[in-house]
Chains A and B, each alone.
Chain A
Amino acid sequence: DTAVSQTPKYLVTQMGNDKSIKCEQNLGHDTMYWYKQDSKKFLKIMFSYNNKELIINETVPNRFSPKSPDKAHLNLHINSLELGDSAVYFCASSPGTGWTGELFFGEGSRLTVL
Chain B
Amino acid sequence: DAKTTQPNSMESNEEEPVHLPCNHSTISGTDYIHWYRQLPSQGPEYVIHGLTSNVNNRMASLAIAEDRKSSTLILHRATLRDAAVYYCILRDSNGNKLVFGAGTILRVKS
Contacts and interface: CB of A to CB of B under 8 A. Distances in A.
Interface string A99-113: 111111111100000
A31 interface: yes
A73 to B, nearest CB: 17
Contacts of B102: 41-42
Interface string B10-44: 00000000000000000000001000101001111
Contacts, number: 56
Interface residues on A, range: 20 to 34
Prevailing SS type, chain A contact patch: strand
Contacts of B42: 107-108
Contacts of A35: 100
A97 interface: yes
Prevailing SS type, chain B contact patch: loop
Nearest to B102: A42
B32 A106 contact: no
A98 B45 contact: no
Interface residues on B, range: 20 to 34
A45 to B, nearest CB: 5
- Interface-centre pick from A4, A101, A103, A107 (highest chain B CB count, 10 A): A103
Contacts of B103: 41
Given A98-B93, A103-B46, A104-B46, 7 more contacts: A35-B100, A45-B97, A45-B98, A55-B96, A98-B96, A102-B46, A107-B43
Interface of B: 32, 36, 38, 41-46, 49, 85, 87, 91, 93-100, 102-103
